[in-house]
A and B are shown apart, each in its own frame.
Chain A
Amino acid sequence: MAPRMWTRIALALSLAALAGCAPGTAHFVHPDVDLGFVKRCAVVPFQNLSPDRFAAARLQPVFLAELLQTEALSVVDTGETLAAYNRLGLGPDTPLTPEQVVALGEALGVQAIFTGAVEDYGQRRSGGDQTNAVTATFSMLETETGTMVWNAQVARDGSSFWRKLFGGDSASQYEVSRRAVRDALESLF
């Protein structure tokens, strides 16, 4: 077999190994909705399904920062959003019904609402090492009918091919969170 063939095989195996290591993102974008009408949005309190009691509180500001980074939308501040939540008698850990989404949209003057649920957050054992990990689901609901127009589930951890090969600590929880949120938002913008 020619040396070039061996090189190709090695490259293919490396790529396959990398792909196997890479955590994934699954997403859905409503095919019949034009997102161009969304100019102003709000990020409501994330649901926390993980054992870490502050996981949602930590992931939400990261999501907000990354959402602003896209420069695609204006975001209403948390204080105003929470005040509207209180006025409408909504709980932070309760999934919103379409009617509640419409009411929230009217109260805040926004065209879309982002929700999130943190499913896994913290350290996880990967091989023989501890690594930071995040699994979360994010959604965007349009406030005219309360329909979900985007949903992404993302799982990321702090390990990498190079870290596994040469050793080294896991990426910080903050970095893992940023990557997870970026990967999710890339499927929208």
Chain B
Amino acid sequence: MRGTTRSRLPSPAGAAAAALALLACLGAGRPAAAVGAEPGGPGSTCILLFTAGAGQGSGITDLADLRALGEQELAAALARSGDAALPADAALALQRRFRVRDGRLLPPAFLAGLDSAGADRLLVAHLYVGRGRIELAGRTLSTGGGLIEAAATETCSLAGAAWRIDFAIACRRFVATLAAAVRPRAGAPVAPLAVFPLGFDATAAQIATQALLEAALADTARAVLDPAVLGGALAAAGLDPRRPDRSGLDLLAGSFAAGEATLVEMITRDPDQIVRASDDDAPASSAVSWETVRSFSLHLRTVDTRTGLVTAAHGVDQDNSPARGWFGNTASNAPRQLIAAAMNRLWEASRQPGKVR
């Protein structure tokens, strides 16, 4: 179904047709080649779009179609800003060849393949499809050094017949935010590894990793290495990408000039995880939908890649109940907001002088 325009809409056929007509009017239905930008030419951007979560009741029955639509919209948005996208077929061929399935690990051979195909930039995005909304989160990075240029998150509503238009607009905003967030970065790179979840599924970990990157990019002017690139390099060398040992730290220091590695664990505080006498055979990690998140702890440690010693460690707790403010106002307890709030506190604490906060 990839690359087709057929889709099953959550609305009546008439409304869907109207939405498609509106979409055509917007000119966002297919990638538009911008002046001076040649798709697949040198200096193009490869788009990797993954559906990272599909909540029940969203009405979207064909996620492959949604992904194809998202790729088209992102390519169109890139073209409008003067960037060319690597053709979807070429990107897909490389993904299949190097088995890039979910964007959590980007092997060095895949990045080299992109470079050979003329893509010097990679846009990795994840679509989280919920009951009433779609969240689009991702980052752009250079395929050469694995350095992140920018990271952003956008949301669009699934309500109403014209959700496709909202989605197209969200894709444009997403690309525009990414382009606007690029800033010159220098100094020894920060090397954050993907967040390691305990009691959470990969989607929650992906959201936490995105929050970590956004916090790091917002706070520091130092270059930030992509966790998927680091993880891909470690995995390709036969090393554990979640908890690198001496060899892994040597690789990070040697191949990426990373003086320190940042490792974050996200551990559930879900009381349901307690093992009852009759529950000894329960799975070690239960899946938690991305639309709800249990209370959790985040623990960050910074490891010197030369000595293998922990140089700093920090932790925060986050309840999943909404924070109550003045005049009866309550803060959102949407997972992304909760995780981002906790991650910002954790990152801020890790930037303070002293070893522990």
In the assembly, what is the distance between CA of A175 and CA of B284, in Å? 25
Q: Select A80's contact among B198, B245, B301, beta carbons within 8 Å.
A: B245
In the assembly, what is the distance between CA of A75 and CA of B273, in Å? 30
Q: Are B310 and A51 in contact, CB atoms less than 8 angstroms apart?
A: no
Q: Are B355 and A57 in contact, CB atoms less than 8 angstroms apart?
A: no
In the assembly, what is the distance between CA of A79 and CA of B265, in Å? 13
B interface footprint on A164-186 (CB within 8 Å = 1, 0 otherwise): 00000000111100000000000
Q: Is A74 an interface residue (CB 8 A)?
A: yes
Considering the complex of A and B, which 8 residue pairs feature the smallest CB-CB distances, nearest first?
A83-B245, A79-B243, A61-B299, A174-B317, A65-B313, A69-B356, A77-B303, A65-B356
Task: Find residues 266-302 in chain B having any chain A CB closer than 8 Å to their own CB.
Answer: 267-269, 271, 273-276, 284, 297, 299, 301
Known: A61-B265, A78-B301. 15 other contacts (CB 8 A): A52-B275, A53-B284, A54-B199, A57-B265, A64-B301, A68-B355, A69-B355, A69-B356, A74-B307, A77-B249, A78-B243, A80-B246, A82-B245, A174-B315, A175-B317
Report the interface size class on chain B. 35 or more
- Closest chain B CB from A15 CB (angstroms): 31
Q: Is B314 an interface residue (CB 8 A)?
A: yes
CB contacts (< 8 Å) of A64 on chain B: these are 301, 310, 313
CB contacts (< 8 Å) of B180 on chain A: these are none
CB contacts (< 8 Å) of B244 on chain A: these are 79
Q: Is A71 an interface residue (CB 8 A)?
A: yes
Q: Are B271 and A122 in contact, CB atoms less than 8 angstroms apart?
A: yes
Q: How many residues of A contact B (CB 8 A)?
A: 30
Q: Is A76 an interface residue (CB 8 A)?
A: yes
In the assembly, what is the distance between CA of A80 and CA of B307, in Å? 11
Q: Is B178 an interface residue (CB 8 A)?
A: no
Most B CB contacts (10 A, CB to CB) among A65, A69, A74 go to: A65
Q: What are 27 A-to-B residue pairs whose CB atoms are below 8 Å?
A: A53-B275, A57-B198, A57-B265, A58-B269, A58-B297, A64-B301, A65-B299, A66-B356, A68-B310, A68-B313, A68-B356, A69-B355, A69-B356, A75-B309, A76-B308, A76-B309, A76-B310, A77-B303, A79-B245, A80-B245, A80-B246, A83-B246, A122-B271, A122-B274, A173-B317, A174-B297, A174-B315
